[in-house]
Structure 1
Amino acid sequence: MITLYSYPPLCGAADNNGYGLKVFAYLRLAGVPFAHEHIFDASQAPRGQLPYIVDDGEVVGDSDTIIAHVARQHEVDLDAALTPAQRDTAVMVARTLDDLYWVMSYSRWKDEAFWPAFRDLMMGEHPQLTADGMEKARAYNAQRYHFQGIGRFAPEAAYARGLADLRVLANLVPEGGYVFGPRPTSVDAALYGFIANILFSPIETPLKRFVMERECLVRHCRAIHAAVGAPGG
């Protein structure tokens, strides 16, 4: 049986990180049984990053690699019917979400306008967290943002980048159904992982305001949320 190791839930989403929630959603949509272990410490994870899975003793990290492994080993490929062009689109969506990740994270840990609210939200939902621990995590993330580049952006410039990503994604999501038709695929799981972490948060960042104004994104997110069920794994 698979065990998924990922960050803890937040605001009704099964993982407060887009990548872990993406894998959670894929496993649920594919109907693959799994246990879900929520952890904060990623030091023992492959490359020091969450999520990862342990599947019959095999450790697999990186969300896309995990999904490929599950599809192959458990014969539940949600993307089996996709055309080559659709597969290419899915890759481009994944790369756009990679870019959006940094702006989402920036809004939580870097931006002084929203950091206190995010800190209090996390500590309120996870009482084991401390103010000192959150400050240390913030300092660590500040280093990551600096070397990645987003940390050198003023807030307005950072959000302009994230809003451009969201605009592209909103244009890909139809008014009904899923991105490639009536059945969800891995791209829908990926979109849910990130949009849910924006939509369900009570913090009114520019990213959330944009999502709330795009009915297609709200509908799609809520449809996947209902399909994958309550957090817990």
Structure 2
Amino acid sequence: MITLFSYPQLFGVADNNGYGLKVFAFLKLAGVPFTHAHIFDASTAPRAQLPYIVDDGEVIGDSATIISHLIRKHRLDIDAGLTSAQQDTSLLVTRMLDDLYWVMSYSRWKDEKFWPLFRDALLREHPSLTEEGLLKAREYNFQRYHFQGIGRFAPPAAYARGLADLQVLANLLSTGGYLHGARPTSVDAGIYGFIANIHFYPIDTPLKRFVDANVDLVRHCMAIHAAIGSATATGG
């Protein structure tokens, strides 16, 4: 049996981090049975990062590595039939989502306009958290943002990066269906992981305004959301 360890849910999605939600959605789309363990403390995780899985005693971290492992070990056909060009596009989109992650995180933890709303939502939905603990997490994220680079941007410049990423996604999905056609592939799980964490986020950031105004991003998000079922459900 596979166990997915990831951050807890928030605002109706199974993980309030794009990477954990990506793996959750992949497991659901691929029909792989699993259990889902929500944790906040990533200190014992591989590279001290969530998500990770335990698959028959083997511990695997990093969302892309997890998905590659699952496809190989369990002989999943979710990406079967993709051309070399489509595989290249999937990799490029995955790398772009890595960039979008930093802007999303910035909007929650760094931007003084939205941080209090995010903090209050976490405290309301997860009573085990404390304001002191969240402030420590915020200080840690500030260090990450500084060394990654996004923390050196003023909010308008930071959001411009994320909005550019979202525009590319909107362009790629404008033909309808999923990224590569009528059936979802692993990259669609990744897209959902991030777009759902923007669309279902009730705080009115520039990223949310863009997503909510784009019919193709919302259509894709809602199609995956319906396909994977309840945020609290487990199993294939």
TM-score, reference length from structure 2: 0.97
- In the alignment, is residue 5 of structure 1 matched against residue 5 of structure 2? yes
Q: Any residues of structure 2 matched to 1:107-118 within 5 Å, and which? A: 107-118=107-118
1:73 match: 73
Q: CA deviation at 1:80?
A: 1.2
One-letter amino acid of the structure 1 residue matched with residue 160 of structure 2: A
Structure 1 residues 164-200: Cα deviation after superposition (integer angstroms, max 9, x where no partner): 0100111111353211111100111000000000000
* Separation (CA, whole Å) in 2 of partners of 1:221 and 1:208: 13
* Separation (CA, whole Å) in 2 of partners of 1:58 and 1:50: 15
One-letter amino acid of the structure 2 residue matched with residue 91 of structure 1: L
* Separation (CA, whole Å) in 2 of partners of 1:174 and 1:73: 34
* Separation (CA, whole Å) in 2 of partners of 1:127 and 1:93: 36
One-letter amino acid of the structure 1 residue matched with residue 35 of structure 2: A
Q: CA deviation at 1:159?
A: 0.3
Q: Sequence identity, in percent?
A: 73
One-letter amino acid of the structure 2 residue matched with residue 146 of structure 1: H
Q: Any residues of structure 2 matched to 1:77-226 within 5 Å, and which? A: 77-226=77-226
Structure 1 residues 55-101: Cα deviation after superposition (integer angstroms, max 9, x where no partner): 00000010011001111111113111100000000000001000000
Give the secondary structure class of the aligned counterpart of 2:127.
Answer: coil
One-letter amino acid of the structure 2 residue matched with residue 51 of structure 1: P
* Separation (CA, whole Å) in 1 of partners of 2:207 and 2:231: 23
One-letter amino acid of the structure 2 residue matched with residue 169 of structure 1: L
TM-score, reference length from structure 1: 0.99
Over the aligned positions, Cα root-mean-square deviation in angstroms equals: 0.7
2:27 match: 27
One-letter amino acid of the structure 2 residue matched with residue 111 of structure 1: D
* Separation (CA, whole Å) in 2 of partners of 1:23 and 1:77: 16
One-letter amino acid of the structure 2 residue matched with residue 89 of structure 1: T
* Separation (CA, whole Å) in 1 of partners of 2:219 and 2:18: 18
Structure 1 residues 135-187: Cα deviation after superposition (integer angstroms, max 9, x where no partner): 11100000000000000000000000100010011111135321111110011
Q: CA deviation at 1:8?
A: 0.3
Structure 1 residues 32-77: Cα deviation after superposition (integer angstroms, max 9, x where no partner): 0000000000000000000000000000010011001111111113
Structure 1 residues 103-144: Cα deviation after superposition (integer angstroms, max 9, x where no partner): 000000000000000001111111111111111110000000
* Separation (CA, whole Å) in 2 of partners of 1:84 and 1:26: 21
Which moved further from structure 2: 177-186 or 25-34? 177-186
Question: 5+ residue gaps in structure 1?
Answer: none
One-letter amino acid of the structure 1 residue matched with residue 190 of structure 2: A
* Separation (CA, whole Å) in 2 of partners of 1:62 and 1:77: 21
Which moved further from structure 2: 53-62 or 76-85? 76-85
Give the secondary structure class of the aligned counterpart of 2:161.
Answer: helix
Give the secondary structure class of the aligned counterpart of 1:3.
Answer: strand
